[in-house]
């Protein structure tokens, strides 16, 4: 129904993607970050009803259902777009989906212990590592150094390693960063492999199936009330469907190192969302970090 509604308006997915390519990459990153972390803000309110990992699973599962209904990545849906699955494409899509789901599960677990801006800043070390390993030239190196300094300023002030909750949250966020690195590397292959959003739909479904055993016993909490169900649906659309579709646009046109460096907009945007939605007031270190991240983005964006 979703795909037929889009076609009735003349907004075919290919035309939508073509229209988005004229939008500057940082603009798409900011839209992605706002959508992602608004969804995360709503997710925090659900942690009293379900474990964070279960909230993440619902986000992935509903997102997969929406993407599958939209793209129909099988039979007639593929033939209409002149595409066909190969074993390599299916494997890449599945690996990408599991990496994406892992990133989400670990991130939601981390923000149950840490402020969202701090967790995202720590998680961002994954993309920085990708940028350093795949980038070339002095501009990439300096931008990566500025981004890492910004992340350290955002996360380092007020993080008490002797506090068990902070320590657990930090480890979860760093693990989420490793998964984020996998998301970028595998997402680049998916975005340039010819299957695009079809691979995103299949990959998201694979990630949801992978984590179903983890959430099976607590998933019913999402159905405890109409308000809870609506919040879960909102989290899925804001944090999965919208941002990952937008990411495919940027992953298809940016080099891996540039994409990784521009993700430094994510910690800064999450800090803003944390201020507005969760009343998490930034300190001086976080503001300094925001400036450093902005400089890194400006330098990376010149390429």
Domain membership of residue 43 (yes or no) is yes
- The Cα 123–Cα 300 span in angstroms is 19
* C-alpha distance from residue 231 to each of 40, 52, 78, 119, 221 (Å): 11, 14, 32, 22, 12
Residue among 63, 64, 71 nearest 4 (CA)? 71
pLDDT digit string, tens, across residues 216-258: 999 999 998 999 999 999 999 898 888 888 888 888 778 787 7
Asked if residue 154 lies in contact with residue 290, where contact means CB atoms within 8 angstroms, the answer is: yes
- The Cα 212–Cα 243 span in angstroms is 22
Domain membership of residue 17 (yes or no) is no
Domain membership of residue 19 (yes or no) is no
Give this prediction's pTM: 0.78
Domain membership of residue 8 (yes or no) is no
Lowest mean pLDDT among 159-168, 169-178, 230-239, 290-299: 290-299
Asked if residue 62 lies in contact with residue 232, where contact means CB atoms within 8 angstroms, the answer is: yes
How many CA atoms, within 13 angstroms, populate the side-chain half-sphere of residue 177? Answer: 27
Q: Judge whether residue 289 has pLDDT over 80.
A: no
Q: Residue 18's CB: how many other CB atoms inside 10 A?
A: 11
Domain membership of residue 10 (yes or no) is no
Q: Average pLDDT, stretch 12-25?
A: 60
Q: Average pLDDT, stretch 135-152?
A: 77
Q: Burial of 301 by CB count in 10 Å (0-12 exposed, 13-18 middle, 19+ buried)?
A: middle
When mean pLDDT is compared over 152-161, 256-265, 273-282, the highest value belongs to 256-265
* Predicted pLDDT of residue 122: 81
* Mean pLDDT of all residues belonging to the chain: 81
- The Cα 65–Cα 87 span in angstroms is 22
Domain membership of residue 7 (yes or no) is no
Residue among 244, 252, 169 nearest 207 (CA)? 244
Q: Average pLDDT, stretch 281-288?
A: 75
pLDDT band at 156 (very low <50, low <70, confident <90, very high): low
Q: Average pLDDT, stretch 199-214?
A: 94
Asked if residue 125 lies in contact with residue 181, where contact means CB atoms within 8 angstroms, the answer is: no
Quick one: how far is CA 300 from the chain centroid?
20
Mark 219-248 as b/e (b = at least 16 C-beta within 10 Å).
bebbeeeeebeebbbbbbbbbbbbbbbbbb
Domain membership of residue 163 (yes or no) is yes
Phi-psi region at 72: left, alpha or beta (left = phi > 0; alpha = psi -120 to 50): left
Total domains in the chain come to 1
How many CA atoms, within 13 angstroms, populate the side-chain half-sphere of residue 57? Answer: 20
DSSP 83: -
Domain membership of residue 15 (yes or no) is no
Q: Which residues contact 226 (CB under 8 A, 6 or more apart)?
A: none
Residue among 62, 40, 1 nearest 229 (CA)? 62
pLDDT band at 2 (very low <50, low <70, confident <90, very high): very low
Asked if residue 279 lies in contact with residue 45, where contact means CB atoms within 8 angstroms, the answer is: no
Mark 276-296 as b/e (b = at least 16 C-beta within 10 Å).
ebbebebeebbebbbebbebb
pLDDT: which is higher, 147 or 235? 235
Residue range of the domain that includes 87: 24-301
* Predicted pLDDT of residue 54: 95
């Amino acid at each position: 129904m979703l795909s037929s509604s889009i076609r009735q308006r003349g907004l075919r997915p290919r035309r939508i993607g073509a229209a988005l390519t004229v939008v500057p990459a940082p603009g798409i990153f900011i839209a992605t970050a706002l959508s992602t972390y608004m969804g995360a803000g709503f997710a925090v309110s659900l942690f009293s009803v379900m474990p964070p990992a279960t909230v993440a699973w619902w986000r992935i599962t509903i997102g997969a259902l929406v993407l599958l209904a939209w793209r129909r990545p099988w039979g007639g849906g593929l033939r209409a777009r002149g595409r066909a699955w190969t074993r390599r494409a299916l494997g890449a899509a599945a690996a990408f989906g599991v990496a994406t789901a892992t990133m989400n599960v670990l991130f939601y677990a981390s923000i149950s212990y840490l402020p969202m801006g701090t967790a995202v800043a720590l998680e961002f070390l994954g993309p920085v590592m990708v940028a350093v390993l795949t980038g070339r030239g002095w501009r990439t190196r300096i931008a990566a150094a500025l981004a890492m300094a910004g992340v350290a300023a955002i996360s380092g002030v007020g993080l008490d390693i002797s506090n068990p909750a902070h320590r657990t949250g930090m480890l979860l966020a760093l693990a989420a960063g490793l998964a984020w690195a996998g998301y970028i590397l595998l997402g680049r292959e998916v975005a340039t492999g010819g299957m695009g959003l079809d691979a995103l739909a299949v990959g998201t479904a694979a990630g949801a199936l992978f984590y179903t055993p983890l959430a099976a016993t607590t998933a019913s909490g999402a159905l405890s009330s109409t308000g809870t169900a609506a919040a879960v649906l909102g989290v899925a659309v804001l944090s999965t469907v919208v941002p990952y579709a937008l990411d495919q646009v940027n992953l298809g046109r940016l080099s891996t190192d540039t994409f990784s460096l521009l993700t430094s907009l994510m910690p800064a945007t999450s800090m803003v969302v944390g201020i507005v939605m969760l009343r998490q007031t930034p300190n001086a270190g976080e503001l300094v970090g925001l400036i450093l991240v902005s400089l890194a983005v400006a330098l990376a964006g010149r390429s």
